[in-house]
Amino acid sequence: MYKYIIRRLLVFIPMIFLLTIIIFALATAAPGDPLTGKKVDPSISPEVYEQQREELGLNDPLPVQYFNWISSFAQGDFGESMFYNGRSVESLIGARLLNTVYLGLFAFAITLLVAIPLGIYSAKKPYSLLDYGGTAFGFIGLAIPNFFFGLIAIYVFSITFGWFPAQGTTSDPNLTGAAALLDRLHHMVLPGLTLALAGTATYMRYMRSEALDVLGSDYIRTAKAKGMSERSIVFKHTLRNALIPIITLTGYEFGVLLGGAVITEQVFNYPGLGTLFIDSITNRDYPVIMAINLLLGVTVLFGNLLADILYSVADPRIRYD
Nearest-angstrom CA–CA distance, 30 and 283: 13
Would you say 202 or 312 has its CB closer to another protein?
Answer: 202
Q: Does 263 bind another protein (CB under 8 A)?
A: yes
Interface residue with another protein among 256, 313, 315, 319 (CB under 8 A) is: 256
Q: How far is the CB of 47 from another protein (least distance, A)?
A: 30
Stretch touching another protein by CB under 8 A, among 71-79, 80-88, 185-193, 296-304? 296-304
Which amino acid, 24?
F
CB 182 within 8 A of CB 98: no
Q: Which helix (H) or strand (E) holds 211?
A: helix 177-215
Stretch touching another protein by CB under 8 A, among 21-29, 59-67, 69-77, 172-180? 21-29
Which amino acid, 207?
M
Q: How far is the CB of 252 from another protein (least distance, A)?
A: 8
Q: How far is the CB of 271 from another protein (least distance, A)?
A: 16
- Reduced to 3 states (helix: H, G, I; strand: E, B; else coil), residue 191 is helix
What are the C-alpha distances in Å from 275 to residues 90, 95, 289?
16, 12, 11
Interface residue with another protein among 22, 48, 64, 181 (CB under 8 A) is: 22
Q: Does 154 bind another protein (CB under 8 A)?
A: yes
Q: Does 105 bind another protein (CB under 8 A)?
A: no
CB 80 within 8 A of CB 34: yes
What are the C-alpha distances in Å from 257 to residues 118, 122, 146, 165, 251?
20, 24, 11, 22, 10
CB 296 within 8 A of CB 100: no
Interface residue with another protein among 255, 306, 314, 318 (CB under 8 A) is: 255
Q: How far is the CB of 111 from another protein (least distance, A)?
A: 17
Radius of gyration of the chain (CA): 24
Q: Under 8 Å CB-to-CB from 169, ≥6 apart: which residues? A: 99, 184, 187, 188, 270, 271
Nearest-angstrom CA–CA distance, 12 and 114: 32
Q: Does 319 bind another protein (CB under 8 A)?
A: no
List b or e across 165-204, with b for residues whose CB sees 16 or more CB atoms inside 10 angstroms.
Answer: bbeebeeeeeeeeeeeeebbeebbbbbbbbbbbbbbbbbb
Nearest-angstrom CA–CA distance, 164 and 162: 6
Q: How far is the CB of 181 from another protein (least distance, A)?
A: 27
- Reduced to 3 states (helix: H, G, I; strand: E, B; else coil), residue 97 is helix
Interface residue with another protein among 92, 197, 290, 291 (CB under 8 A) is: 290
Q: How far is the CB of 34 from another protein (least distance, A)?
A: 17
Q: Does 163 bind another protein (CB under 8 A)?
A: no
Q: How far is the CB of 229 from another protein (least distance, A)?
A: 28
Q: Does 40 bind another protein (CB under 8 A)?
A: no
Stretch touching another protein by CB under 8 A, among 62-70, 110-118, 231-239, 292-300? 292-300
Q: Does 151 bind another protein (CB under 8 A)?
A: yes
Stretch touching another protein by CB under 8 A, among 97-105, 143-151, 219-227, 312-320? 143-151
Q: Which stretches of the chain bind another protein, using CB under 8 A?
A: 11, 14-15, 18-19, 22, 26, 29-31, 139-140, 142-148, 151-152, 154-155, 159, 205-206, 209, 252, 255-256, 258-259, 262-263, 266-267, 277-278, 280-282, 284, 286, 289-290, 292-293, 296-297, 300-301, 304
